[in-house]
Amino acid sequence: MSKVRVAAFSISLDGYGAGPDQSLQDPLGRGGEEVHNWMFPTRTFQALYGRGEGTTGVDDDFAARSFEKLGAWIMGRNMFGPVRGDWPDDSWKGWWGDNPPYHVPVFVLTHHPRQSIEMEGGTTFHFVAGGIEAALERAREAAGEGDIRIGGGVSVIRQYLQARLIDELHLAVSPVLLGRGESLFQGIDLRELGYRVVEQVPGVAATHMILSRA
């Protein structure tokens, strides 16, 4: 059965999914890249960008699992790029070049409509101005039997959590302290929402936690 899931989402030990002062130079905020250090060297990540062989083991196993059975993605506009307000033109097509690593339809939450962008490798970015449930409905149609991955950023995951629309979360908890930034769970009661930890596995550079709704 198709799931709505968060996968390979990295957070710091103090619960931040992005650092402070996000910018074009620091899209994940100051220090934010550090929480992803577990993934960068893995074979799965390296293969996405046509690089070297990469590392294997627990971290790579979870990175690979995050791409299994995917039929569609949902992400926030902040994850798609740094442009704010009305789109000035169609020049910005994401951070990832001509062949983004998604290879399925991606639904971008925005308040400012824009024509869909078809990229190489099977990725098409669709821009949804109708809110999180409208994006999820379109993603379900596109995904068929595949899973829908809520890709972030923090604000998007929080909205879907609070709406009780996420079935499963895989969090990679990195041994990094950011001090401030975007807190994933501030003000959210996961137990009240029905989540429980069903798997925890220590990797080389992160501890992997799977949470599922009862």
SS3 category, 86: coil
Q: What six digits make up the tokens of 18?
A: 């992005």
- Element at 78 (helix H, strand E): helix 77-80
Query: DSSP strand E in the chain: where?
Result: 4-12, 16-18, 70-76, 105-109, 117-118, 124-128, 147-152, 168-174, 182-183, 195-202, 207-213
Domains in the chain: ranges and CATH: 4-16+28-84+97-213 (3.40.430.10)
pTM for this one? 0.93
One digit per residue, the tens of pLDDT, for the chain of length 214 reads 789 999 999 999 999 999 988 777 777 888 889 999 999 999 999 998 777 789 999 999 999 999 999 999 999 998 998 888 899 888 999 888 999 999 999 999 999 999 999 999 999 999 999 999 999 999 999 999 999 999 988 999 999 999 999 999 999 999 999 999 999 999 999 999 999 999 999 999 999 999 999 7
Residue 18 has phi, psi (to 5 degrees) of -155, 150
Residue 50 has phi, psi (to 5 degrees) of 65, 35
Q: Alpha-carbon distance 21 to 54, whole Å?
A: 31
Q: Alpha-carbon distance 153 to 112, whole Å?
A: 18
SS3 category, 135: helix
Q: Alpha-carbon distance 78 to 194, whole Å?
A: 28
Q: Alpha-carbon distance 88 to 84, whole Å?
A: 9
